[in-house]
Amino acid sequence: RFQACVYFASVFQAMSCGIHYLASVFMAVTPNFVCGFPGNVSSVLFHNSSASNIEDIWTLWTSTENYIVVQLENGEIWELDQCSRSKREVSLDLAYEHKGNKSVFPCSDGFLYDDTKWKSTVVTQWDLVCDREWLAKLIQPTFMLGVLIGAVIFGDIADRLGRQRVIWFTSAGQFVFGIAVAFTFDYYSFVIVRFLLAMVSSGYLVVAFVYVTEFVGIKARTWASMHVHAFFAMGIMVVALVGFLVRTWWVYQIFLSIATLPFVLCCWMLPETPFWLLSEERYEDAQKVIDTMARWNKVSTPCDVSELCSVQQDDLAGGRMGDDDTSSTKKHNILDLFCNWQIARRTITVWLIWFTGSLGYYVFSLSSVSLGGNEYLNLFLIGAVELPCYIIACVAMDKLGRRNTLIPFLILSALICVLIMFIPQDFNILIILANMAGKFSIGVAFGLIYLYTAELYPTIVRSLAVGSGSMMCRVGSVVAPFCVYLRSVWIFMPLVATVYFFQLLVGIMALLSGILTIMLPETLGKPLTNTLVEATEIGRNKKSCSEKTPPAHSGAASEKIEMFGQERASTDK
């Protein structure tokens, strides 16, 4: 019961990460627009259709190359394009086509926007169109840049100051910065506050994975960690629902931010993990947490931390720890992820998988815009399709193992990327199905790598390892939005060719990642490690362990902590 309460309280807040990551999908949408005009309009003409106001014309708007002809009350006739306007010099009749002289003027009177879908967006709020369009395109990449930086910073802080304090700070930060975004007064303050929101959102997501992994035992670790992604996907579905109901961007942002307010009010009760307390030699505090777990779970078998400490002291006395682990209170940094060849090779492979998973996830998602239909329903389904993905991943991870699940799904996503290249463009349904299959397969690998990374590294650098991996993941997510904008910069490359190019890139990287994953050790059913020496020994056979390094006992001690609090004593039966 204790682990269940801690788990669901922690992952509930993960929904806010999914919410803020995808909020800009509707908040920064660019509706149809044309140049404003100087005066009051008397009649409007669009091709063969006429109206008394422009609002009636938007339903007929089909292309950005269209323009609207308006006649003002003073008799002037203007042609309104998206980024310019022309005044007809001599024209007595209101006609759509005009071959006479025109005077071109800039859009000094602002713009007129189609508000039939959205009453207000950040684009319409600050006129992020035409020569300011690039500012709108930077909204999502700058957010992902904040996610990248936050993953590393808070992952390192969590290893130094503890998981509990980071969860407290990032939870409150998501709520405060989320509300603050709605009250920003200009574009630059909006981007800055969203950048800070991205940092705390990323920090929470990274540390939450480590937090629940260290509290949940071996039996439930796979399902518990993988379904953090499920709550993230539920956050995406919340974005679709709120976007459908609320059409003003700042009200929309407030509703999204208060969705997880209950967790902010109760997160202060979450305890620190015994793993981190033991690694910092805070044995009394660890004993208090374990005693609390025992009372909640009605476990009568005592667990004395001093017994675990004596095992670690014996390891120190016997010289079983390397020079890097002689002091558990040593402050670690990212260089510890390259402390020896085995760990360095593991780190490079893991980073490549993180990057490939993120890039592939977003490339397949961006390709799915050709689905058409209701955009809110599409986003909802994009989030919902991830739920069965994680269920299948959990079953495969428990039956086949982490490595044996990761390898085939990486290779499968690579094959699907190549397959899409040979599907004729006329077969739209087949292309869509292939894209969804590719996203499904890369989603399994993307979700699995969080848990796999946490299991491959010891307690002293676990948050740092997950944080640095998430940093590489966000490099891919920063690059992905620019792939969408490539066509507007490189007009000679068609959109389809652009998508195919990046899908081929994802396929090559997925194939390379799958091959390198073969060299990673299997972690299924093994206790979490505390030291770099123990982490290096993962996957080695008994012979190599006996010849090179005596078996570490602190891993067994860790297993006692993992299993404690989840088993009832035999006297209770």
Residue 187's CATH number: 1.20.1250.20
Angle at Cα 6 formed by Cα 573 and Cα 471, nearest 5°? 135
How far is Cα 270 from Cα 264, in angstroms, rounded to an integer? Answer: 11
Rounded to whole angstroms, the Cα distance separating 329 from 454 reads 20
Query: Is 330 contained in some domain?
Result: no
**Boundary residue ending a domain (62, 83, 116):** 116
- Return the SS3 of 360: helix
In eight-state DSSP terms, residue 248 is B
Residue 126 reports pLDDT greater than 80: yes
Model pLDDT, residue 251: 92
Average pLDDT over residues 32-49: 78
Torsion sign over Cα 480, 372, 113, 246: negative
128-142, 169-183, 534-548: least confident range: 534-548
Mean pLDDT of 150-161: 82
- Residues 457 and 496 reside in one and the same domain: yes
Q: What's the rounded mean pLDDT across residues 302-314? A: 63
Whether 554 has a pLDDT exceeding 70, the answer reads no
* Within a domain: 5: yes
pLDDT of residue 64: 62
Please tell me the distance from the alpha carbon of residue 74 to that of residue 76, in angstroms, as a whole number: 6
Q: How many domains does the chain have?
A: 3
- Of the listed ranges 39-48, 143-152, 233-242, the least confidently predicted one is 39-48
Q: Give the CA dihedral 267, 272, 275, 276, nearest 10 degrees.
A: 110
Residue 338 and residue 321: Cα distance in Å, rounded? Answer: 17
User: In which domain, by residue range, is 180 found?
Assistant: 1-29+121-270
User: Is residue 262, in this structure, part of any structural domain at all?
Assistant: yes
Query: Does residue 266 have a pLDDT over 80?
Result: no
Q: Which residue has the higher pLDDT, 246 or 312?
A: 246
Residue with tokens 């010289």: 319
pLDDT above 70 (res 373): no
Residues 416 and 467 in one domain: yes
Structure tokens that stand for 53 in this block = 């106001």
511 shares a domain with 460? yes
On whether both 64 and 201 belong to a single domain, the answer is: no
pLDDT of residue 501: 64
Contact between 536 and 342 (Cβ < 8 Å): yes
Please say which residue of 116, 146, 167 terminates a domain: 116
- Domain assignment present for 168: yes
Task: Classify the C-alpha dihedral 337-342-344-350 as positive or negative.
Answer: negative
**Cα atoms in the 13 Å half-sphere on the side-chain side of 299:** 19
Burial class (CB in 10 A: 0-12, 13-18, 19+), 302: exposed
Q: Do the domain assignments include residue 571? A: no
| Average model confidence (pLDDT) across the chain | 78
Label residues 313-341 b or e (16+ Cβ within 10 Å = b). eebeeeebbeeebeebeeebebebbebee
CA distances from 483 to 300, 367, 421, 495 (A): 58, 11, 17, 10
Task: List alpha helices for 59-162, DSSP H.
Answer: 122-126, 133-137, 139-161
Please indicate, yes or no, whether residues 78 and 155 belong to a single structural domain of this protein: no
How large is the average pLDDT for residues 279-297?
82
- Confidence label for 485 from pLDDT (cuts 50, 70 and 90): low
d(CA 213, CA 3): 10
- What are φ and ψ of residue 124, in 5° steps? -75, -30
φ/ψ of 87, rounded to 5, equals: -105, 125
Q: What pLDDT, on a 0 to 100 scale, did the predictor assign at position 179?
A: 93
Q: Are 459 and 528 in contact (CB under 8 A)?
A: yes
Please give the pLDDT value at position 198.
Answer: 92
Instruction: At 332, list the tokens.
Output: 């670690």
Radius of gyration of the chain (CA): 28
Same-domain status, 107 and 132: no
Q: Which of 2-16, 328-342, 395-409, 452-466 has the lowest mean pLDDT?
A: 328-342
Give whole-number Cα distances, 49 to 32, 52, 73, 276, in Å: 18, 11, 19, 70
Of 180-194, 196-210, 424-438, the range with the highest mean pLDDT is 180-194
Residue 41 maps to a domain: yes
pLDDT of residue 184: 92
At residue 96, φ and ψ (nearest 5 deg) are -75, -45
Among residues 517, 559, 511, which one has the least CA distance to residue 534?
559
Mean pLDDT lowest among 94-108, 303-317, 394-408, 456-470: 303-317
Mean pLDDT of 494-498: 49
Token pair of 431 as six digits: 């292309």
Secondary structure of residue 69 in the 3-state scheme? strand
- CA geometry: angle 352, 472, 12, nearest 5 deg: 115
Same domain, yes or no, for 68 and 157?
Answer: no
Q: Which two tokens stand for residue 103?
A: 């005077």
- The answer to whether residues 180 and 196 belong to one domain is yes
pTM of the model: 0.77
pLDDT at 314: 54
Helix, strand, coil percent content, the chain, rounded in steps of 5: 70, 5, 25
The two structure tokens encoding residue 63: 């292309």
Q: Which of 44, 43, 72, 73 is nearest to 60 (CA)?
A: 44
Least confident of 13-22, 341-350, 399-408, 423-432: 423-432
328 occurs within a structural domain: no
User: Of 251, 270, 289, which one is at a domain's C-terminal end?
Assistant: 270
Q: Are residues 517 and 378 in the same domain?
A: yes
Which residue would you say has higher pLDDT here, 294 or 326? 294
DSSP-assigned letter for residue 48: T
Q: Residue 564's pLDDT is what?
A: 43
Q: Chain centroid to CA 486: how far?
A: 22
Q: What is the mean pLDDT of residues 512-541?
A: 82
Per-residue pLDDT for 414 more than 60?
Answer: yes
Q: What is the spatial distance between Cα 94 and Cα 33, in angstroms, rounded to a whole number?
A: 22
Distances (CA, A) of 213 to 160, 184, 216, 469: 18, 37, 5, 16
Quick check: 317 pLDDT over 70?
no
* pLDDT at residue 405 tops 80: yes
Q: What is the mean pLDDT of the segment spanning 115-134?
A: 87
How many helices and strands, by DSSP H and E, does the chain display?
24, 8
The reply to whether 106 and 144 lie within a common domain is no
Instruction: Please check whether residue 76 lies inside any domain of the structure.
Output: yes
pLDDT level of residue 319 (50, 70, 90 thresholds) = very low
What pLDDT is attached to residue 252? 92
328: three-class secondary structure by DSSP: coil
51 lies in the same domain as 105: yes
Predicted local confidence at residue 42, as pLDDT: 74
Strand partners, 112: 34
pLDDT the model gives residue 191: 94
In this prediction, residue 320 carries a pLDDT of 46
Residue 325 neighbours by CB under 8 Å, 6+ apart: 460, 531, 532, 533
Give the mean pLDDT of 17-43.
83
One domain, residues 438 and 521: yes
Both tokens assigned to 160: 């130094």
